[in-house]
Amino acid sequence: MSDQTNEEEAPGPAPPELLHGSPVTWSVGQKVVHPDRGSYLGLVEALKAEGFNVCIDLCAVDYLAQPGRSLPDGVAPERFEVVVNVLSHGRRERLRVRVQVPEADPVVASLFALHPGCEAMEREAFDLFGIRFQDHPDLTRILMPEDWEGHPLRKDYATGRVPVQFKAAPASR
């Protein structure tokens, strides 16, 4: 008889899933990657090299009223978040990238050099949320007039009525 027992060690918690050094979570069956601002551009570049060569959406979110949202360990919540959805036709896979953007310095790298089609989407996030995209070729307003003050989709933007003014509207009869 052997003195060895058949006791197995209980498995510890699984190590967090990482993709190119960034934490991964899952949402509604979709992989979500959470890079920091410094690794955001490099991550998207690596994903493009892996076949995620279509940026199908880029938008911003203001979490002013929801600071306690769910994020993986090690990812500090910030007021703003830029959300990018990339697609790989070859892999038949969609992947979401969520990068936290602080209110005090709302700047992230532009994806224009990798995905020229996101130019207008980055301008929209800039116009409506005030998030600046470093190295964007034309970071100007796209929806609001150039002289508009503020960013209307920020949660602390004052609400009110804006009178509709039609140019060259026909006189009523």
Q: Which tens digits make up the pLDDT trace of 21-75?
A: 999 999 999 999 999 999 999 999 999 999 999 999 999 999 999 988 889 999 9
- Residue 6 in domain: no
- Residue 82 in domain: yes
- Residue 12 in domain: no
Which whole number is the average pLDDT over 137-146? 95
- Tokens 């500090």, residue? 76
Domain that holds residue 26: 18-63+76-134
Residue 114 CA to chain centroid, in angstroms?
15
- Residue 139 in domain: no
> How far is 122 from 60, CA to CA, in rounded Å?
9
- Residue 141 in domain: no
- Residue 37 in domain: yes
- Residue 37 has which token pair? 């601002």
- Residue 157 in domain: no
- Residue 159 in domain: no
Per-chain mean pLDDT for the chain:
91
Secondary structure of 53-109 in HEC code, one letter for each residue: CEEEEEEEEECCCCCCCCCCCCCCCCCEEEEEEEEECCCCEEEEEEEEECCCCCEEE
For residue 65, what are the contacts with CB-CB under 8 A and spacing of at least 6? 155
Q: Tell me, what CATH number does 93's domain have?
A: 3.30.460.80
Q: Tell me, what's the pLDDT at 91?
A: 95
Report how many domains make up the chain. Answer: 1
For the cut 60, the answer to whether the pLDDT of residue 173 exceeds it is no
Q: Tell me, what's the pLDDT at 146?
A: 92
